[in-house]
Structure 1
Amino acid sequence: MGIEQQEYQQRRQRLMEKVGNGTAIFRSAPMAVMHNDVEYNYRQDSDFYYLTGFNEPEAVAVFAPHHKKHRFILFVQPKDPEKETWTGYRCGVEAAKERYGADEAYPITELDEHLLKYLIDADRIYYHLGRDRSFNDKILSYWQRLIAGYQKRGRVPTAIEDTKPLTHPMRLVKSPEEIVMMRKATAISAQAHNRAREFAKPGVYEYQVAAEIEHTFRLEGAMGIAYPSIVASGANACVLHYVENDCQIKENELLLIDAGCSYGYYNGDITRTFPVGGKFTPEQKTLYELVLEAQLKAIEQVQPGNPYNQFHDTAVSVLVDGLMELGLLVGDKEEIIKEGKYKPFYMHRTGHWLGLDVHDVGAYKHNKETWQNLQSGNIVTVEPGLYISPYIQPAEGQPEIPDCWKGIGIRIEDDVLVTKSGHDILTSDVPKSVSAMEK
């Protein structure tokens, strides 16, 4: 199960239509070091992978639609049986053409020898100045050499532009094949959440619950975690990116689990919060019902044509109404929202794009004032929450928080596909009603 080469070919064609008479250069992700000489499992740069499906380090992809013979060129590590014995098999130069559809392929060691001929007739260079400073310098030096020859040739690349405005709008709208991958990633993530809810009980440790989740991911064929799993009991749930996962879960505590798997590079992202002892306390239930109402009403706004911000604004409106009814916020609702006086309780936005990256690429706004409209093929998370930290400091002019509310953190998150006529909740297999959360 995966993306077929035909789709990668179509993506490259769309990219080259945007590049026109330019040349686009993409650099593979570097190897990441865990400690000393031990490296993490390799994870390719998402834009590079989106265009090639190639999953090895030390590679460069070049797109030169103006070139007479070679429009898609790969520079890769050559075959080396001795090194492959230690670090794994390489595709090699010849197979890069056969398997990945490159018009031409070269050893990465020959980059300096060949790259210039794909730049010399371009009207501009597209390249993202990333974290590899030495490679950034290499590309800039090529450009400087070409500029220096302008008087003799009369035609050289006159500008360098970022590649991200080319690739990110493409990635924002998922193809049918990508949606299949996302359905698989979210299905495995959902299965792991359901397993975790069955396993969790007072007395177990957060890391044991995390282990059940991540075991399910790998057992079902996922690459692993999409991001470090958050398993937060009690007041730990008030820390948005809590990843220590080292506390013992106590009776009458809520357990917040934010976890998702990566499947074929595509990611799930689900959050559920439930009482480990089987029943909500009155305060927990009140806040849970409020967050759930906010989430359900926000999901209703995930419709093609709606501004991206509409589902966030809807969630904030519901949460503020509820907090005012409970006396935890006081004053004029519009002023509370405008001045952000609700933010001690709800400090993050209600969602983000989801896909090859967990916080996936794509603009949220056209400009400072105008939000991107949702369109069929977008996938967003919808994840309102309330966090009443033991150390909460109310906004100016707001009341002190009674102790009975403190230490409660709740978030409910689903992954939602925008369809032609509405939306599809990809993570609906994970229950979230009050009755389902109580044992």
Structure 2
Amino acid sequence: MRKIFILILVLSWGLSVSQDYPADQLDIEFHKKKRLEVINRMPSNSVAVIFSNPVRNRANDVEYIYHQDPDFYYLTGNPEPHSVLLLFSEPFQGTQEILFVQPHHARQELYNGPRLGVEGAKEKLGFKVAYENTEFKALQIPFQEFDSVLFFDFKNDVRDEIYASGDLYDLMNQFKAKAGIPQDYNSMIAGIYEEIRNLEPGEREAYKKRLAQMSEQIPLLQQNEIIQNFIKAEGSLEQEIVAGNILPSPNNFNTQKIQQIMTDLREIKEPQEIDLLRKAVYISCMGQVEVMKAMHPGMSETEIQGIQEYVFKKYGSEYEGYPSIVGAGHNGCVLHYIKNDKLKVGDELVLMDLGAEYHGYTADVTRTIPANGKFTPEQKAIYDLVYQAQEESFKICKPGETIRETTTISRQVIADGLIKLGIIADASEVGRYFPHGVSHHIGLDVHDRGNYTTFEKDMVLTVEPGIYIPENSPCDPKWWGIAVRIEDDVLITEDGYELLTAFAPRSTKEIEAMMAQPSIFDSYSLPPLEDALKD
């Protein structure tokens, strides 16, 4: 009776507060449409098996805040762990989609909040066929009879929840057993085996060299005896391998097709997705603006991060889209610097790369500003060069143009500029100070799925050139420690682009003007920690 009371209490609590929760999330029809689009793109006589994300442990009995696998969320809207989705190219037992979800559990829901359960999967997610995850084991699915079994490569950080039956660990192992998938299955290795099988005689030597180069970087390939034997093979051994006598037998496993289907779908955004991205971008820009007004040399990198993330939360952003980057001076030269532990930013440039995630969709915005409110001549020279490169790259952001051309154009502009400034002697040296690409898709992932061929209408991408001159670089020391990245998000339209991040000042003149404005944080102060502890 006590368990029943607790369950009723949890469920009634969920109903009573539901009206206080966001109403602008992706709706049921969006996810239904996407599942149907996947089904329509699947090969005939195929099944797709898509798992939720693992629960990640932070320390001891504390977990990281759960974040759903973007592909799984895109197709289901289910925010909960320990779930699996099955899609069928043709009806199976009268349906083409089955969702397995966590069962209700009164005590765990008391601690961690209500679960959807089967009834929630049907009513709130729109599934006609749903089961508790504990029922997956008993479901009879003849995986060997399908021409293709589509799935993503397995995560290697899935823990066995010893007090839960039907958790993700169980679901994955049960699927492997049902489908005959080896426990150590790796899609990259399987893909290489398939490529070896299909090599023409004249292609083998070049492929061996490619595998040898890959092996230098990937220990997994170094440890694979078959692949290493093929790299060295000649004569009869090579024939034995290519003929398949040494390779594992062909199977119906396919990890490439589902990847391609999801990439094709997710790189083009639906109106609902664009609305959410607009909000995420605006929130992120507002964070940059508030920091511009509040910035002073005595701030720490963490304090700057805190102001940005406070603005995110104030607007209802659930998470940061990625670990926040706040790097002053030389720290900005570390592309993915996330320590943010410098106590005073001084008079240096501060590179701030932060993005709010709003209902699953993340922005990606970078601004670089002088901590004291004024660019030095050297800082301005580098900043204006990056700004010029970005402006030139914007010009090709329109349907039909090649996405990677933004990198080519930015590199040309920056190489020419660095030569004029005497920082490099030849364009071939530009990679020392500009080592990354310029454009990537954003969406449910900060580096979202995309084919990276040509711009198409309703793609949303970044344009982010940068220059990073670490201390002790082979140039005049006056340039050392200057790091500039300007990153904006663009929506590709019918004949061009819309700059979604226009709200956050970009030019040196605009930035200095914004930094001269008063801040809501000017009068906010806390007692020094040491003084507070004395009392």
Partner of 1:235: 330
How many angstroms apart in 1 are the aligned matches of 2:103 and 2:337? 42
How many angstroms apart in 2 are the aligned matches of 1:411 and 1:256? 7
Question: For 1:35-87, what per-residue CA distance to the aligned partner results, in whole angstroms no more than 9, with x for missing partners?
Answer: 11101111110000000110000001111242251211111111121221112
Q: Does the 8 Å contact 2:386/2:466 carry over to 1?
A: yes
Which residue of 25, 38, 42 corresponds with 2:49?
A: 25
Q: CA RMSD in A?
A: 1.7
SS in 1 for 2:124: helix
How many angstroms apart in 2 are the aligned matches of 1:295 and 1:166? 31
Which residue of 56, 62, 71 corresponds with 2:80?
A: 56
Partner of 2:33: 10
Displacement after TM superposition at 1:228 (Å): 1.2
TM-score (normalizing by structure 2) = 0.73
Structure 1 unaligned spans of 5+: 146-156, 365-371, 393-399
> Following TM superposition, where does structure 1 have runs of at least 4 consecutive aligned residues deviating by more than 6 angstroms?
none
Larger Rg: 2
Question: For 1:133-190, what per-residue CA distance to the aligned partner results, in whole angstroms no more than 9, with x for missing partners?
Answer: 7555533322239xxxxxxxxxxx9611122112111001101111001001101111
Matched letter for residue 148 of structure 2: R
Matched letter for residue 57 of structure 2: V
Q: Trace 1:309-348 onto structure 2 (pairs within 5 A).
A: 309-331=404-426, 333=427, 336=428, 341-348=429-436
Matched letter for residue 334 of structure 2: V
SS in 2 for 1:113: coil
How many angstroms apart in 2 are the aligned matches of 1:349 and 1:158? 37
Which residue of 467, 476, 483 corresponds with 1:386?
A: 467
* Higher mean C-alpha deviation, range 373-382 or range 62-71: 62-71
State whether structure 2 residue 198 is matched by structure 1 residue 103: no
How many angstroms apart in 1 are the aligned matches of 2:508 and 2:410? 18
How many angstroms apart in 2 are the aligned matches of 1:374 and 1:355? 15
Q: Does the 8 Å contact 2:280/2:357 carry over to 1?
A: yes
Equivalent pairs, count: 406
Partner of 1:151: none
Q: Does the 8 Å contact 1:172/1:361 carry over to 2?
A: yes
Higher helix proportion, which one?
2
Q: Does the 8 Å contact 1:119/1:125 carry over to 2?
A: yes
State whether structure 2 residue 177 is matched by structure 1 residue 84: no
Partner of 1:349: 437
Question: For 1:243-293, what per-residue CA distance to the aligned partner results, in whole angstroms no more than 9, with x for missing partners?
Answer: 111113344311111001100100011000111112111111111110100
How many angstroms apart in 2 are the aligned matches of 1:138 and 1:93? 20
Q: Does the 8 Å contact 1:23/1:118 carry over to 2?
A: no
Displacement after TM superposition at 1:236 (Å): 1.1
Matched letter for residue 179 of structure 2: W
SS in 2 for 1:71: strand
Matched letter for residue 274 of structure 1: I
How many angstroms apart in 2 are the aligned matches of 1:65 and 1:104? 16
Matched letter for residue 236 of structure 1: N
Q: Does the 8 Å contact 1:416/1:426 carry over to 2?
A: yes
Q: Does the 8 Å contact 1:269/1:413 carry over to 2?
A: yes
How many angstroms apart in 1 are the aligned matches of 2:93 and 2:322? 43
Matched letter for residue 35 of structure 1: A
Q: Does the 8 Å contact 2:141/2:178 carry over to 1?
A: no
Partner of 1:150: none
Which residue of 246, 250, 253 corresponds with 1:160?
A: 253
How many angstroms apart in 1 are the aligned matches of 2:472 and 2:99? 54
How many angstroms apart in 2 are the aligned matches of 1:38 and 1:218? 22
State whether structure 2 residue 134 is matched by structure 1 residue 117: no
Q: Trace 1:221-232 onto structure 2 (pairs within 5 A).
A: 221-232=316-327
Partner of 2:223: none
How many angstroms apart in 2 are the aligned matches of 1:11 and 1:21? 19
How many angstroms apart in 2 are the aligned matches of 1:196 and 1:314? 31
Which residue of 341, 348, 359 corresponds with 1:246?
A: 341
State whether structure 2 residue 153 is matched by structure 1 residue 129: yes
Partner of 2:219: none
How many angstroms apart in 1 are the aligned matches of 2:142 and 2:81? 22
Partner of 1:179: 274
How many angstroms apart in 2 are the aligned matches of 1:87 and 1:289? 50
Question: For 1:99-120, what per-residue CA distance to the aligned partner results, in whole angstroms no more than 9, with x for missing partners?
Answer: 2122211110111111x33746
Q: Does the 8 Å contact 1:71/1:103 carry over to 2?
A: no
Partner of 2:69: 45
How many angstroms apart in 2 are the aligned matches of 1:125 and 1:224? 34
* Higher mean C-alpha deviation, range 273-282 or range 129-138: 129-138
Question: For 1:186-208, what per-residue CA distance to the aligned partner results, in whole angstroms no more than 9, with x for missing partners?
Answer: 01111111111111101111111
How many angstroms apart in 2 are the aligned matches of 1:191 and 1:198? 11
State whether structure 2 residue 420 is matched by structure 1 residue 420: no
Partner of 1:299: 394
Bigger relative contact order, structure 1 or 2 (CA pairs below 8 A, ≥6 apart): 1
TM-score (normalizing by structure 1) = 0.89
